[in-house]
A and B are shown apart, each in its own frame.
Chain A
Amino acid sequence: MIDTLPVLAQTDLSSLDTFLQMLVGGLALGTIYALLAMGFVLIFKATQVINFAHGALVAIGAFFVAIVVLDFEIPGRWMPGAPEWLTWSLAAALGVVAGGLIGLLLERLFIRPMVGEPLFQIAILTVGLDIVLRTIVDDIAGLDGRPLADPWGIATARFGNVTIPHTQLVQFGVVLFLMIVVALFFRSRTGIAMRATAWDQEAARAQGIKVGRIFGISWFLGALLAGVAGVFASIFPRAAGVSSATAFVAFGAFPAIILGGLDSVVGAVVGGLIIGLAESAASIYLVQFSSVLGSGFSAIIGYVIMLLVLLIRPYGLFGTEEIRRV
């Protein structure tokens, strides 16, 4: 999950441009982690379920986008003159919503009947779901993966000496938009009901809130955000398509979730950005120490940071000290 843009190869490690380039790369990776972590935390807060199938949801969302775009050509086939960025974006939106619906379905079929069972059992169930779902995606997508056929390709923009792929400019816009949507959602009637449910399920039911519906919505949103992360993890410069490797982004996001504090959505965003930036910085500045640290150090720096933070703050940066629930 590391940017290896050619411009970095010959740049001076102490230059400002290198630093800015590192920031851009870190934000690009960090926002993907943030989307993933947000969805994960959303599901955890609302339902108390630790969703180990989140990685599969990343792949499934991206996979649906590939299908909608290339196999079904929806809505492109009905919009002959429309610009490609528009038809593709609509198709991508459809694909991630379909991925969200899979999340909803999982909750309905497998998680809801388990309500009241020990949380550990439910977590193990999600491990099983993860394996099954990833196997299905692998079988259909094949080893080579499926391209998402985005209209931006490998085009880049230059700001001074900093290079940014068009796909990442789009990504920054989309992530910003989604964060605003999520923030507004939390202030809506349903969003308040979700936060109320997260705090005290029984008291929420006493207000007439249907917690089952809230569970479903949280899985839908979590899966949708995971799918969006999956889309950007499956296009240039990260990958050439969605494949069996896509789900592994979740491993990178895991330290971000723990770092942020498991039950804080803000923490998820901050944690995601920190880990993304750290990986990016390590891949540039620590390469010179690779004889000592090993060549793949940037891939595990997230875990190193997570462990260090947990030593000082066992509940993460934004986590509540204990999960106070009945």
Chain B
Amino acid sequence: MLSVENLEVVYNDVVLVLRGISLEVPDGKIVALLGGNGAGKTTTLRAITGLLDVHEGDVTKGEIYLDGKRITHDDPSERVRMGISQVMEGRRVFAELTVEENLRAGAYTNRNGGKVKKAHDRVMTLFPRLKERRNATAGYLSGGEQQMLAIGRALMQEPRILILDEPSLGLAPLLVQEVRDIIVEINAQGTAVLLIEQNANMALSIAHHGYIMETGKMVMDGDPKRLLKDEDVKEFYLGLHAGGEKKSFRDVKHYKRRKRWLS
């Protein structure tokens, strides 16, 4: 089990971004972490995986444990080795490398030939499309294919916990469903999942537990079905007003476009 306790993160020694958040990802479960822009979701991911340093961020309080072992300040490669892998926001595939090479880069810490083969087979079964495009340069894949590759790459180290940062971002609705099904499948094979999303509907529909954060604090957590019914959640994260009508599609679209510029 992964547990985050009272975590506080500061950027550039002054910007307090996480104000004491706690969360748990039990073995074999899917946990959703929701929140609007700038809530601190990606920062939480960076803290868990040890990538705060390049962003001049520091954990100033709190701890992160994996199975009771403190990993708060461990090297990122060590955390990968221990079984935490991530699919970063915006896919971040190695565009100059082929699909196959991206997968081999993902297997970097997995030095057991048999295990790599097993992980590779699993990825190829999960993503038949990647199998077809094995030798293609990753930069030429479509957005959906790149997302699949990013997930496949993260699976190559046979993680116990997979953290995905907004995997549905910028994907067409049909592809969002596909990604959702893939996550369910990965979880069914025994991998715990921490799913960071703004698409609360998608995330809560498959999660066993949900957390909602706002400006660096957990504001709500609990059973996904209950969260889905909650009026505030509906209003802010499902694009539904109290009346039940959907927020205009253009608002959503506009927001997404802006987001892409930002990232």
A interface with B by C-beta (< 8 Å): 116, 187, 189, 192-193, 195-196, 198-210
Contacts and interface: CB of A to CB of B under 8 A. Distances in A.
Interface of B: 49, 51, 54, 75-77, 79-81, 85-86, 88, 92-97, 101-102, 104-106, 108-109, 153, 157
Contacts of B94: 195-196, 199-200, 203-204
Contacts of A204: 94, 105
A183 B49 CA distance: 32
Contacts of B81: 208
Contacts of B54: 116, 201-202, 205
Given A206-B51, A208-B80, A208-B157, 13 more contacts: A189-B108, A192-B104, A195-B94, A198-B96, A199-B95, A202-B92, A203-B94, A205-B76, A206-B76, A207-B80, A207-B153, A208-B81, A208-B108
Contacts of A207: 80, 85, 105-106, 108-109, 153, 157
A203 B222 CA distance: 32
A199 B97 CA distance: 9
Contacts of A200: 92, 94
A209 B77 contact: yes
A206 B86 contact: yes
A218 to B, nearest CB: 16
20 contacts: A116-B54, A189-B104, A192-B101, A192-B105, A193-B105, A195-B97, A196-B94, A196-B101, A198-B96, A199-B97, A201-B54, A205-B54, A205-B76, A206-B49, A206-B92, A207-B80, A207-B105, A207-B108, A208-B85, A209-B108
Nearest to B75: A210
In the complex, the 4 A-B pairs of residues with the closest C-beta atoms, listed nearest first: A208-B80, A208-B109, A203-B92, A208-B77
- Looking at chain A's contact residues, is the secondary structure mostly helix, strand, loop, or mixed? helix
Contact of B96 (A199, A205, A209): A199
A112 to B, nearest CB: 14
A192 B103 CA distance: 10
A228 B149 CA distance: 39
Contacts of A210: 75, 77
A133 to B, nearest CB: 30
Contacts of A206: 49, 51, 76, 80, 85-86, 88, 92
Nearest to B50: A205
A118 to B, nearest CB: 14
Contacts of B85: 206-208
Looking at A187, A189, A208, the one whose CB has the most chain B CB atoms below 10 A away is: A208
B97 A192 contact: yes
Contacts of B77: 205, 208-210
Nearest to B93: A203
